Structure 1
Amino acid sequence: MELILQQLAAHPSTTDIGPLEALVASIRPQRANDGEIAVNNLRALILLLQLRPAYRDALRLYLLACLASRKQLHLYADVGILPNAGFFSELRNKLAAKLLPPAVNPDYLRDMFGEIFNQRDDHVWVSAVPDDVWQTLFDTLRGDRIEGHQRRFIIGEMLDAAQVLSYRISSMGLEPELVRNHPDIERFESPFLKQNVEIVDYINRHRNWLIDQGQPREDHRHALVLLDQCELVMAKIRKQAAVSGASVSLTYLLVRLQQSLQRLRTLLQLIEPGDLAQKQALALALFKELLWADNRKLNIRDFFRDNVELVARQVTEHASRTGEHYVTHGRRDYWFMLRSAAGAGFIVGFMALIKILATKLHAPPLIEAFLFSMNYALGFMLVHRLHFTIATKQPAMTAAHIAAAIQDGNGKTALDNLTELVVRVARSQFVAIIGNVFLAIPTAYAIGWLWYWGTGSHLVDPPKVQRLLHDINPVQSLALFHAAIAGVCLFLAGLISGYYDNKVVYDQIPERLQQRPLLQRLLGNERLGRFANYIRNNLGGLSGNFYFGFMLGTIGTIGALVGLPIDIRHITFSAANFAYSLVGLENQMPWQTVLWSIAGIWLIGMTNLTVSFSLALWVALRSRRIRFDMARPLGRAVLKRLLTRPGEFFFPPRVEKTDDNLARGESH
């Protein structure tokens, strides 16, 4: 460290970044999270500068020379701000830059900044150093006033960056995506345009004042008010997106606009003369922000997280509203859910029959996968159309509903309400499973015997019976692993439903359908209106069920084609297959096989539910950026309720507890 400072003292006019890079390397700890080492190294540097004024002056002049000899605009206006390339273009650029990093231009401070802090985790130890240590370093290096030309150059670069950001903000403020969600931008004078006029005028006056401080100069407060108005418009757009839907492009634009507004506000505060300590704190915050952004500029995970968060929020928000219909609130809802689930179990009995018949065709693998997929997809869509309930579809919806309840409440009352919601969800899930399984089994059993009486042969022969029973055995087969795969499919189906619920609103699909002349002539305005309204309310559910069916129908074939042991196991279909196997053996099934089969069906169901619920809840919490700190208190409260009133987890009490904080919905 001292050797580097000696070299700087010997060559005070150098602008090569090599000494600065070496100085940072001497401060950097071997492990980025070892902040104590970084603090000790930085304090050693401060002590050395305080004891040797020549070193202090040499380092100060060297840093100013490095700043005044390089273009700074792009560091302030670009780093940490999404570019104008768009989501998918920027994703391609990041992937390409990982393979072949861009060329470094020594004339740009942005490129040199990345060369000086060239470790991907430099931001970790920099942030670990307390602010007061950095402030001490700044105070030590401050010294006398900066030379006039150096000060004008540095402030001039900040002014240029502020002007560029202002122009970008005014351009983004007129994007059709924003105008569509907030038409007042066109009807009234846009704050995005007004801020540009004000900031350009402010910059011109400030440049004149830098040359001649006798010139009149207004402060930046009016510009900050206009930036506040821009952020108010953005808040309204985000609120409107909860109703009219969101898209990746809108999300990308809002994130980029927010970043630009915040950076412009920071630059204006740094440019404006004021309290030195406050400006040093602001400069330190900007330095950390730039360093974090530069270190993470090629991180794909951060890019997805920052840009897809609002879309994920809208998807899970739609799932949350749908999830209200899957939670029973009293005995009337409970019995309705039982009937709804029983109807789905009845249909599944026939879907299992169709799959067995399709298997008998011995079609080529891809044709067979198509037949399986259409059977599942059309069957699930019929279940949705008849307002029946598949038990395993509930967790993906109710998880988002629970996440919304977690976000909306806090404190003991929120814990009580959340406990009550968990009990209701568990009870609703239980009755849905009972309805599915306890009607799928007798339906399949009856179909099996009717087939035998009508044809003289069993629907499933003994070899097929053995395969069906083996597939649901939790010990001798991969039934639970395959059930987990089905749980992932259930989770994805929930996301797909939410995506299309968002899309139907955002793309105004019902309104566009009603404006098609051909459909108007074919259906008439009244029937077309009913059809468009049905699409508005059901496109998400139909799409989720359709894709879910195709996932269930193709995964087994894909596994066979690529040689991987992947397949799906679903509780209701497993129950129906068990019933068909029982008929195939003419009720002569060993009791051990019966017990293993019942255990397999139950474990398959629990795996389906646990996997889909866990994934859906994780996504719902992440999309809302919620840290759930009530997990242990909630677990204790649920366990206490289970021990004191276990019956409520399976059957609603005579008088159902009501609470205004729990969202209520009609049974679906």
Structure 2
Amino acid sequence: MLSALEKISAAPESAELENLAHLIACLRPATGAEPEQAIERVRELTLLLQRQPPHAVNLRRHLLHLLSARRQTSLYTDIGILSNDGFFSELHRRIVYRILPPALDERYLQDCLEKILPFNTDYLWIQAVPLADWNALAQALDGVRDATALTADTHAARSSNDQLDRLKIMTELLQAIQVLSYRISAIGMEPELIRIYSDIKAFESPFLMQNVELHTYLEGYRRYLQGDTAPMEDASHVLVMLQQCQDVVDKIRKNATRIGTSVSLTYRLLRLDQNLDRLRKLLALVDVADGRPALASASENSTVNAPLPAEQKQLIGLELGLELVEAHNRKYTVRELFAGNINLLARNITENASRTGEHYIAENRAEYSAMYRSAAGAGFIIGFMAMIKIMMSYLRAAPLVEAFLFSMNYSLGFMLIHVLHFTVATKQPAMTASRIAAGLHSRDGRNLDLDSLSGMIVKVFRTQFVAVLGNLSIAFPVAYALAYAFYFASGHHFVTPDKAQHLLHDIDPFGSLALFHAAIAGVCLFLAGLISGYYDNKALYTRMAQRVARARWLTRVLGQARTVRFGDYLERSLGGLMGNFYFGILLGTIGTIGFLLGLPIDIRHITFSAANFAIALVGLSNEVGWHVLLRSAFGVLAVGAINLWVSFALALFVALRSRGVRFRQGMPLLKSIASRFLKRPLEFFLPPRDEATAAAPADEGAAKH
């Protein structure tokens, strides 16, 4: 460390980076070492500079010269701020640069960081050092605060060269502030933002007015740097306009949860937040603390003006430096890009799924009965779908053709179920999980009404139970009756004994991969829920009803009134239709993908497994042992349990993450549910009578698929 300081002292005016990189390497802890090692080394450097002021003077001179000799604006305006290229272009750029890094230009300060801090983990040990230690190091560089204790060397260091370098650095900071202001104006006037928050008029927009106020402020600041003794323009107007910009961003986000959002909108809002935050911090950093108006802090919502002490400005500078170092080390991180942009979109998708999930919760016995009838209708159709799939398999078509046929059977069947307002039980968990997450209002999991939450979970459980009961109680006898009808009509069984044995083997929970395949189906159910929420969000965001109503070709075919009704229906039901369509595609193609890749990949769905069980029994003329019956029945129920649990767990995880909820009362909630079960076990399977009399009968169509 001392040798590195001696090299710097030998050539403090050098613009090369090697000596500074050597000093940073001396501070960096050894690989695998604890962060305390970095803390000790920073304190050792501070003590060394305090004991040898000439080294402190020369190091400060070297740092100022390095900064003034580079172009700094891009460091403050680009590092830690998303580019203007859009989400997918930024994603592509990060992936490409992780594989093949870009060329560097040491004329720019942000590229110099690559040489000084070459490791992606450097920010970890830098942040591990307490801010007080970095502040002590900065004070050691700046010299002793007490003027009577200043040495001759320290006085000599405050030369005209130092002042010139500081002026260059300040000029770069002011340029960065101006660039950020122009960017905020440009992003704030994007048509996509104005469409969602149309209250803003172009000539009244705070995104434009903040640039006007900032221009006045910067003009006064430049006159001040040139030696003008006139009072500098107060920065309070700039802060007011920045706060108004932040308020508009918050209102747009609030509106987006109601009318939908998109990846591009989320990306723009995040980029706008980053520019606003960076602009506040730079304003706080350059503010003059000699009695002129000053910014109080760099916090996001601060609009207070007060003199800012030099010590506080130094802390703000250190915090900004640490932020820039972390952003530099993580600028090609794909995970961070997704985390920052997808949360709001996922929140809106799960929010739409949550609203749909309300239709999957039976509050009283009337709704409970309606749910059973709705599920029974779906079971009736699935009985036919199972027969049709087996018939398609007899065509012996090419694998891809067979996958297409299976997919269309599933997709069209599920879409028909949706249009008829029937319910597939396994589609419920992806929706009800979002509804449960919506009930967790507290971000830290505290101050929750566990009784109400457990009550809602009980309602979800018994609604799920009756839906499964409705599907199985009809799908099994319908498939059985159809197989017998085929036998009586044709004189031979619908499936051969070998095929029947194969169908039974497919639902064997012990002798096959039925449970693993059921888990794959659970993932498909979860994905279908996300797809449904995505298209619901898209229909709202793009105003699907209005777009359909304006389609002249459709108006000529259907007429104006029918076109309007059709548009309203699409806006309400697009998510359900597309979710069912893609769910059918997933179920129909996964088995073929597994066959083509030679992997044991397939799907098992509880209702189709029950229908196949019935068809196999008829194919074997009911000549099966009781142990086969028990094993197959258990297999069907086990497949259903895995279907439901996997889809519910994944949906609940995404819903909680998208809402930023950290639920920490799992055990008290489980105890509350167990207490309810011990006191009123029948409540988990049948609504209490008082709920039936207290609520009005529900329309059967309320339990929508």
- Normalised by the size of structure 2, how large is the TM-score? 0.91
Q: How far does residue 413 in structure 1 lie from its aligned partner after superposition?
A: 4.4
The aligned residue for residue 517 of structure 1 is: 552
Q: Which residue of 1 aligns with 2:230?
A: 215
Amino acid at match of 1:127: Q
User: 2:168 pairs with 145, 153, 173, which one?
Assistant: 153
Q: Deviations over 1:363-418 (max 9, x none)?
A: 22122111111110111011111111111101111111111111358545422222
Partner residue of 2:332 out of 298, 305, 314:
298
Q: Is 1:354–2:388 an aligned residue pair?
A: yes
What do the CA deviations read for 1:444-491 (whole angstroms, capped 9, x no partner)? 111111111111111111000011001000111111111111111111
- 2: CA distance between counterparts of 1:491 and 1:366? 24
Map residues 114-513 of structure 1 onto 2, 5 A cutoff: 114-143=114-143, 147-186=162-201, 189-273=204-288, 274-407=308-441, 411-513=446-548
Stretches of structure 2 lacking an aligned partner (at least 5 in a row):
144-153, 289-307, 695-700
Query: Which of 618, 629, 638 matches 1:594?
Result: 629
Relative to structure 1, is the Cα distance of residues 65 and 638 closer, same or farther in structure 2, using a 3 angstrom cutoff?
Answer: same
Within the alignment, does 1:552 sit opposite 2:587 as a pair? yes
Counterparts of 1:557-636 in structure 2, within 5 Å, are: 557-636=592-671
- Contact residue 219 and residue 272 of structure 1 kept, 8 A: no
Instruction: Give deviations 1:329-376, integer Å, cap 9, x for gaps.
Output: 122221211111111111111110111111112222122111111110
Residue 611 of structure 1 deviates from its aligned partner by 1.1
> Aligned pair in 2 of structure 1 residues 188, 630: CA closer, same or farther (>3 Å)?
farther
Match of 2:148 in 1: none
Point out where structure 1 has 5 or more consecutive residues left out of the alignment.
660-664
Alignment-derived partner of residue 662 in structure 1 = none
**Alignment deviations for residues 595-649 of structure 1 (CA, whole Å, 9 cap, x no partner):** 1111111111111111111111111122222222222332332233333333222
Deviation at 1:111, TM superposition (A): 0.8
Residues 166-206 of structure 1 deviation map (CA, whole Å, 9 limit, x = unaligned): 11111111111111111222365111110111111211210
Question: Hey, what's the Cα distance between the residues in 2 that align with 1:37 and 1:329?
Answer: 61
- Does residue 40 of the first structure (1) align with residue 40 of the second (2)? yes
Note the C-alpha offset of 1:666.
4.7
Matching residue's letter, 1:201 = T
What do residues 562-621 of structure 1 show as CA deviations (whole Å, max 9, x unaligned)? 211111000000011001111111111111111111111111111111111111111112
The answer to whether the 8 Å contact 1:391/1:429 transfers is yes
Q: d(CA) in 2 for partners of 1:156 and 1:367?
A: 67
Q: Distance in 2 between matches of 1:356 and 1:489?
A: 21
Alpha-carbon distance in 2 for matches of 1:522, 1:220: 61
| More deviation, 306-315/638-647 | 638-647
Instruction: Verify the 8 A CA contact 1:169 1:192 in the aligned structure 2.
Output: yes
Deviation of the 1:32 alpha carbon: 7.2
Question: C-alpha separation between the residues in 1 aligned to 2:126 and 2:513?
Answer: 49
CA contact (8 A) 2:365 2:692 kept: no
Which residue of structure 1 lines up, in the alignment, with residue 76 of structure 2? Answer: 76
Secondary structure of 2:449's match? helix
- For residues 658 and 120 of structure 1, the distance between their equivalents in structure 2, rounded to whole angstroms, comes to 64
8 Å CA contact 2:9–2:58 kept in 1: the answer is yes
* Distance 1:418-1:114 versus aligned 2 partners, 3 A rule: farther
Give the length in aligned residue pairs.
663
Residue of structure 2 aligned with 1:526, choices 561, 573, 579: 561
Cα distance between partner residues in 1 of 2:670 and 2:39: 41
How far did residue 277 of structure 1 move? 2.1
Contact persistence 1:324–1:666 (CA under 8 A) = no
Q: Deviation at 1:297? A: 0.8
> Letter of the aligned partner of 1:520 in structure 2?
T
Letter in 1 for 2:397: A
Aligned residue for 1:407, secondary structure, equals: coil
- Amino acid paired to 1:548: F
Deviation at 1:213, TM superposition (A): 4.2
Task: State the distance in 1 between where 2:31 and 2:632 align.
Answer: 54
Secondary structure at the counterpart of residue 159 of structure 1: helix
Select 1:652's aligned residue among 678, 681, 687. 687
CA distance in 2, matches of 1:241, 1:400: 18
Question: Does the residue aligned with 2:440 lie in a helix, a strand or coil?
Answer: helix
Pair 292,582 (structure 1): closer, same or farther in 2 beyond 3 Å: same
Equivalences for residues 79-98 of structure 1 within 5 A: 79-98=79-98
Cα RMSD after superposing both structures: 1.9
Q: Which residue of 1 aligns with 2:697?
A: none
Q: How far apart in 2 are the matches of 1:226 and 1:192?
A: 8
Rounded Cα–Cα distance in structure 2 between residues aligned with 1:56 and 1:487: 64
Amino acid at match of 1:247: S
Q: 1:342 to 1:329 in 2, by over 3 A?
A: same
Q: Could you report, residue by residue, the CA deviation over 1:531-559 in whole angstroms, capped at 9, with x for unpaired residues?
A: 11111111110000011001101111111
2: CA distance between counterparts of 1:533 and 1:123? 52
After TM superposition, the score normalised by the length of structure 1 is 0.96
User: Matches of 1:327 and 1:378 in 2, distance apart?
Assistant: 25
* Residues 26 and 642 (structure 1), Cα distance of their counterparts in 2 relative to 1, 3 Å cut: farther
- Alpha-carbon separation, structure 2, partners of 1:657 and 1:275: 68
Cα distance in 2 between the residues matched to 1:534 and 1:408: 35
Partner of 2:698: none
Q: Could you tell which deviates more after superposition, 124-133 or 77-86?
A: 124-133
Asked if the contact 1:33/1:125 (under 8 Å) is kept, the reply is no
Identity %: 52
- Alpha-carbon distance in structure 2 between the residues aligned to 1:638 and 1:3: 68
Deviation (angstroms), 1:325: 0.9
Please report how far the alpha carbon of residue 657 of structure 1 lies from its aligned counterpart in structure 2 after TM superposition. 11
